[in-house]
Structure formats: C-alpha cells, structure tokens
Amino acid sequence: MRNLKLTICYEGSDFAGWQVQPKQRTIQSEIEKALLEIEEKPVRIYGSGRTDAGVHALGQVASFELENRIPLKNLQKALNCLLPPAIRILDVSEVGPDFHARHSAVAKTYEYRWRRDEVCPPFERRGVWHHPYPLDEAGMIKAAPLFEGERDFRSLATNNGEDVLSTVRTIFSSRLERVGPRLIYRVRGSGFLYNMVRNIVGTLLEVGRGNLSADSIPWVLEARDRSAAGPTAPAVGLFLVDVEYPDQW
C-alpha cells in the first residue's frame, strides 16, 4: 500500500466545492470516481481543506492510499484522461505513511481577483469578480496588512454549523495591489476559518466604499462578532494558490 500525494488544479465554477456531497458534482467525488476505475475498488482521498462552490485552485493537495502499483507518471496520465477538463492533476508523488494532506500542512496561500475596468472580457468572467464601481483603492491597500498576526478571527468566520475548537489563526502576510485592470489580494496563513478569506475581501470592500476606515480593522477583529465585518465576497474570484508542508515532505 502506497501513500500518495496529488497536486491538483481546477476551475471550480461548475462544481459544488471540494467535498463529496449527496447528488452533487464535486472535485473530490470526480477524483474518487477516476481512482475507482484504476484501483477497482473505492478510494477515499483527503484534501488539504475544503473549497466552496465556485472557488478555484492552482495548487490544491490531496493524499490517499493505493494498492495498484501503476508508475506515478502513468497514474497522473490516467487520472487526467478520466477526469473532466476542468480538473487537472499537476503532480503525483509518493510520501511517507505519516503524511496527511490536511494535518501535515503548515501554511496556505489564497488569492482573490477583482476586475476593475468597465467591461470584463468574457474569457475572464469565471475567474474574477467584476467590480467596476468607485472604490478607495489606496484605503484598501492600507487596510490589507492590518489582518496580519496571530489573532482571534471570529469576526471573519461564517457559522456553517460545525464546532470549531478555536477561531485563533496566524496570518503571515496580507497584501493588496493593483496590477493593470485588476486588484489582487494575496493572503498567506497557518489556516483559515470557513469563508474567512471571502469575509476579509468583503471587509476590504467596505473600506473601499467608505463604510469602514482602514484604522477600524483592529476594532472589527476585537469585536469577535461577524456583524462587525463586511459581507462575504462572491466565490468567483477566489483561488487556492499553494499549500505548504515541512521540508521532510
């Protein structure tokens, strides 16, 4: 039995997120369906974390055990033949038995993309939030680093009915920049609560609209109250960029 690690890229518009759900088309279910054909029995895969419906990934990671001795490169080719074009396996590697895509992760990076000009090119519509309306971008850029540090991010966590032992997380970097016609927000952290990145983006948007000041971000976090922060931004502009693991993996 081998413990294998997948690096996965997907365009999430047509899927109900990562996690298997009854009667829903998800990233996890599509990969498990492909592995069923290869292994000839069910294979459960474990992702580094769940992405919501419509969220994309440039470097999602999953791990699973496989009895089939198919060479890794051939396994990658077979999976890409069996999977829909919106899901691609970028890499397959064998890892030690203690590796787990979720529990072994030490950091994740997400990116959120706005399209700011008046017209959004149709080939970008599934990967950016088109927002051509006036915003105080300088205020948003100033506010972005104020989310950094080890903090209680309860104000930025959407309650999805699950019990969370702690809402404390560490944000290593949080930056917003204008790149041509796009605003790009990039955040790297030890982990993220449910909808946390999209709620940060919604809070930055409230700064841009003038409903919050950059200086009020510490107050938003200290409130530990979801109503103190901005709305949840749409999933369309969110990408899971990278998942990091200790050097041993």
Please confirm, yes or no, whether 52 is among the known catalytic residues.
yes
Give whole-number Cα distances, 192 to 14, 49, 118, in Å: 23, 9, 32
The Cα–Cα gap between 153 and 159 comes to 12
Tokens matching residue 235 = 């999933």
The Cα–Cα gap between 37 and 44 comes to 13
**Active-site residue, selected from the candidate residues 14, 52, 163, 247:** 52
Sign of the Cα pseudo-torsion (58, 50, 183, 139, in order):
negative
Q: Determine contact, residues 153/196, Cβ cutoff 8 Å.
A: yes
Q: Are strands 46-47 and 149-152 parallel, antiparallel or unpaired?
A: unpaired
Q: At 205, give phi and psi (nearest 5°).
A: -65, -40
Stated as kind and residue range, the H or E segment containing 244 is strand 238-244
Catalytic positions, please?
52
